[in-house]
Amino acid sequence: MNAVRFVALVAVGLLAASLRAGEPSASERGKAALETRTFNPAPWPLSAYGNAWKHWQPPLKQKPADYDQAFRDYYGLHPAPYANKDLPMGLRHGSRLFTTGIANDCMICHGGSILGKSYVGLGNASLDIHTLFEDFNKVSGLGKLPFVFSNARGTSEAGGMAVYLLALREPDLSLRLTPLELGLKDDLCEDTPAWWLLKKKKSMYHIGSSDARSVRSIMQFMMTPLNGRTTFEKEEKTFADIQAFLLSMEAPKYPFPMDRELADKGKMLFEKSCVKCHGTYGPEWTYPNRIVPLDEIGTDPARFHGISRKAGEHYNRSWFAQEKGQEGYLARETNGYQAPPLDGVWATAPYFHNGSAPTLEDVLNSKTRPKIYTRSFRTGEEDYEQTKVGWKVQVLDKAPAASEPGVLRRRVYDTTQPGRGNGGHTYGDALTPDERRAVIEYLKSL
């Protein structure tokens, strides 16, 4: 090959490479889609944000001075770590008939904060989604919510929402005239899993009922009756990009000093008692993707039983399950809860599928778990419990009376209520206090 041709070829090669470098990757496109788009039309006018305080409990005489902060505190939202027109993470501008309104997006539940810093992909452990939607509906002249969207702050009835919306659709996603009876339950109290765990999982959701590679499954949150089949088909590519972004995420690192020696002791104990369900960590990680039978794990059964067989069958007949042509990604029945990977577990309190254990210490000692308690629902250093690892709580003698406003009742986690039981997972009970401290020290390093 002569020199001129060689130089020309190299130049073309470089040009092609730089073009490729300029094009966003699938995960970059997915990140941009999450941070800039809403996949549902906006239900509320822009004025809903500024007027919501008129329904706060106890009632206020005037709008709070630092309204943005007061609004985030009241509903459990966090500043957006991306441009969001001054709205908190999880709310955003969207189209509403011929104007602009407010919509919610995935980050209302999947955008959280730890030590005062917001993260896309950390579950929102502060949110009172029922109160937020209820107040926005009130100030917008819209009706009551069709069922309970959350029973305890930081958890939501995401499963109930999916069942409710699925019941309005035929398998081809056209709208039904009357909703199907799919046995909707609204006391599952679901804690939102961190997105960075998805890349290790073969099956997802707390009971491992779906293939973790299903793109259409995570499109269920687009089911507002205003979205037709063509919109779902059009956005499938976008959701494949979103999935690529979720699969690229890494857990945040523990920011405080750690006792390495103690952590090494904890690692040995972890290898003995925990690895068989939760896997190993580091560059050569393994994850067994184990689903532990309900009677063995013994945690609250409501989420396990909460989605009816009928709902599963309807899902499996629908567009959502037909993803890979004939084969499809069918939802399946399992026999218990999936032992999650524990990467970044220092940041994901409260624990268990229903958020019933506020700290790792509570996870590892079933006898001392608090029964009825509240917390600040703020996420600063002063709200974080560094020794037990998780949220500081204030234990109460009794739960608020049923006559109290819902927003106040939802601030109390009452483990005697349906869906909120804090029993089971007794694998840490036999550890001595020193051993437990060592295991917790090790868990900080994951």
- Which residues here bind ligand HEC, judged by CB under 6 A? 39, 106, 108-110, 129, 156, 158-159, 190, 192-193, 197-198, 201, 204-206, 218, 221, 242, 246, 270, 273-274, 276-278, 292, 297, 299, 303, 337, 339-340, 342, 345, 348, 351-353, 360, 363-364, 425, 427-428, 439
Nearer to ligand HEC, 55 or 200 (CB): 200
Nearer to ligand HEC, 400 or 445 (CB): 445
Tokens of 59: 């009632």
d(CA 350, CA 54): 31
Nearer to ligand HEC, 110 or 437 (CB): 110
For residue 61, give the DSSP letter: S
Nearer to ligand HEC, 309 or 398 (CB): 309
DSSP 230-252: HHHHHHHHHHHHHHHHHHT--PP
The gap from C-alpha 251 to its chain's centroid, in whole angstroms, comes to 14
Angle at 431 between CA 426 and CA 434, to 5 degrees: 140
Nearer to ligand HEC, 140 or 238 (CB): 238
Q: How far is the CB of 107 from ligand HEC (least distance, A)?
A: 8
Q: How far is the CB of 304 from ligand HEC (least distance, A)?
A: 8
Q: How far is the CB of 329 from ligand HEC (least distance, A)?
A: 13
The CB-side HSE value for 381 (13 A sphere, CA atoms) comes to: 3
* In contact, 37 and 103? CB cutoff 8 Å: no
Nearer to ligand HEC, 38 or 140 (CB): 38
The CB-side HSE value for 371 (13 A sphere, CA atoms) comes to: 6
Q: How far is the CB of 382 from ligand HEC (least distance, A)?
A: 23
The gap from C-alpha 330 to its chain's centroid, in whole angstroms, comes to 22
Q: How far is the CB of 56 from ligand HEC (least distance, A)?
A: 21
Tokens of 78: 């966090």
Nearer to ligand HEC, 67 or 185 (CB): 185
- What is the DSSP pairing of strand 117-120 with strand 203-204? unpaired
Q: How far is the CB of 341 from ligand HEC (least distance, A)?
A: 9
Contacts of 132 (CB under 8 A, 6+ apart): 52, 75, 77
Q: How far is the CB of 392 from ligand HEC (least distance, A)?
A: 18
Q: How far is the CB of 349 from ligand HEC (least distance, A)?
A: 8
Rounded to the nearest 10°, the torsion over CA 120, 386, 419, 170 is 10
d(CA 283, CA 281): 7
Backbone region of residue 205 per phi and psi (left: phi > 0; alpha: psi in -120 to 50; beta: other values)? left
- What is the DSSP pairing of strand 99-104 with strand 44-45? antiparallel
